[in-house]
Amino acid sequence: MSTRRSFLQFCTGAGISATMAEALWHQLAAQPATTPVAPLTAAPAPPLTITREAVRAAETLAGLQFSDPERDLMLGLLQRHLGSYGDLRLVELPNSVLPALRFSPALPGRTFPDRPRRPGRRVRSSQVVKRPATNAELAFLPVVQLAELLASRQVTSVELTRLYLDRLKRYDPVLNCVVNLTEERALRQAAAADHLISTGQKRGPLHGIPYGVKDLLAVPGYPTTWGAEIYRDRILDQTATVVERLDAAGAVLVAKLSMGELGHSDTWFRGTTMNPWQPTQGASGSSAGSAAAAAAGLVGFAVGHETLGSIITPATRNRITGLRPTFGRVSRHGAMVLAWSLDKIGPMARSVEDCAMVLDAIVGPDGRDPTVTDMPFDWDPDFPLRSIRVGYFKAAFDAPHDSKVRDDAALAALRELGFQLVPVNLPTDLPINALTMVGVEIAAALDEFTRNGGLDLLRDQSDTGWPNFVRASRFVPAVEYLQANRIRTLLMERIEDVFESVDVFIAPTFGVLRVTSFTGHPAIVLPNGTISDGVPASISLIGRLYGEQ
């Protein structure tokens, strides 16, 4: 009887009707034991409609309990998930395709330069920098020029630190980008930086430069809130590796900057972070405070964090430069985990060179984040540009899109500089939007928060809000999660094929954001004018793995 019950349950799960299953059971039971049985092929299942009762039943299997309003809110998203599973199953997956379960962006057999990482990257030799006439102008200088002013003693670190602290206090009521100032720590660091400069012990280009970090990085003595009301007073007794390394470089931490609740959007427990260019509109997320503060001249530079666009999107929205490094470039020790195979930490600043200087200070293993690889960052600002093979994502540029005029102008500018642009195309036959690992990993990272009711305390309870997304992600089947990871491997192989012919390629920002997030490739986003109604536009450059230089 137990064998019969198991067989009937299997058939039901495969979409076979109860009547057909009973007939198959009796047919098989009549076969002699030595007669081989042909494998079963499930009949195509009829279209399913997700109901509140189905969600309640699934909760029992997962050991969860939601309310009826929460179940009703999930229905539309779960129905769309069901369609995504069908998309995944359309892709042929040979048995040899590995899931990207323990994620490394480097595919098997891929080799990289075996060179020791040299300390002290050079910055471009610039003309003599003179202090601007006003403090407002001073606040907006790129880091490379602030460094020159500090080195020539035209400004002190304490003076810069007080300037940025004052601006943070003055403009935060408008922008809502500061979670907590680190004023006492900052003034102490700035005084120490000035002392070292006066004795000829400058530690590098970031020495004495005030900066801010997204409030998912732990700093002892100050709350680390992750943007959530429940954590607004929580102090973690650890220092994030990124903060340790910037401390060692002589940089001065002035503020913990806002982030969307638990890494979603630009809304946090004190409201929405606003865009300094358009203060009636949000700054986008989730590195909202980092982007707004860098754009408004409230810090010399900022540190952001990205899972699937949280550096690139707010950098675009706030017209700054944002660098998403190769996955595994920068340690995430001391940072909130959102998705283990997708999270990256990177700089957000007012120039490309600033991003290079910050990246150089924070890259490399720390023995605490096992995903970090010891790869050189050999950036040379005097490298002959025309020796670089540059591609462009032809299909994305050709397709109608909001920023097409600006993007075409960017291609024309590259050609005027002498580059022979190589057309490249990214895979369009793989179901990128159906890759479920991001939701599953976030749901796993927020598991306890979900089960103890913490999601109910978040501000955005809409169908597009984090709580609904996380709850719905709890129901992604394990098999589909693994199949999505195997498709991710295929995607990684296709992108690596692109880099057989180019060293870097340019693309409309939102045409490659998701694809290259999943593959782990580095990207830098540059301001590229505006489109309709003053909405900022950007353009992206995508590099080889560990090819940020």
The residues that are catalytic are: 214, 286, 310
In terms of C-beta density within 10 A (0-12 exposed, 13-18 middle, 19 or more buried), how is residue 24 classed? Answer: middle
String of DSSP letters for 205-219: TTTT-EEEEETTB--
Q: What is the 3 state secondary structure string of 274-300?
A: EECCEEEEECCCCCHHHHHHHHCCCCC
Closest C-alpha among 349, 263, 328 to residue 522: 328
Residue with tokens 């910055």: 123
Closest C-alpha among 271, 531, 544, 517 to residue 401: 531
Residue 158 CA to chain centroid, in angstroms? 33
Residue 31 per-residue DSSP state: S
Residue 422 CA to chain centroid, in angstroms? 28
Q: Is 263 left (phi over 0), alpha (psi -120 to 50) or beta?
A: left
Residue type, 316: T
Residue type, 439: G
Residue 364 per-residue DSSP state: B
d(CA 212, CA 495) in angstroms, rounded, equals 34
Closest C-alpha among 285, 264, 262 to residue 273: 285
The H or E element spanning position 394 is helix 394-398
Give the Cβ contact number of residue 155 at 10 Å. Answer: 19
Residue with tokens 């002290």: 120
- DSSP bridge partners of 525: 322, 540
Largest CA distance in the chain: 97
d(CA 65, CA 58) in angstroms, rounded, equals 10
**CA separation, residue 54 to residues 75, 102, 402 (Å):** 10, 32, 41
Give the Cβ contact number of residue 413 at 10 Å. Answer: 12
Total residues found in the chain within this entry: 549
Handedness of CA 392, 397, 402, 405 (dihedral sign): positive
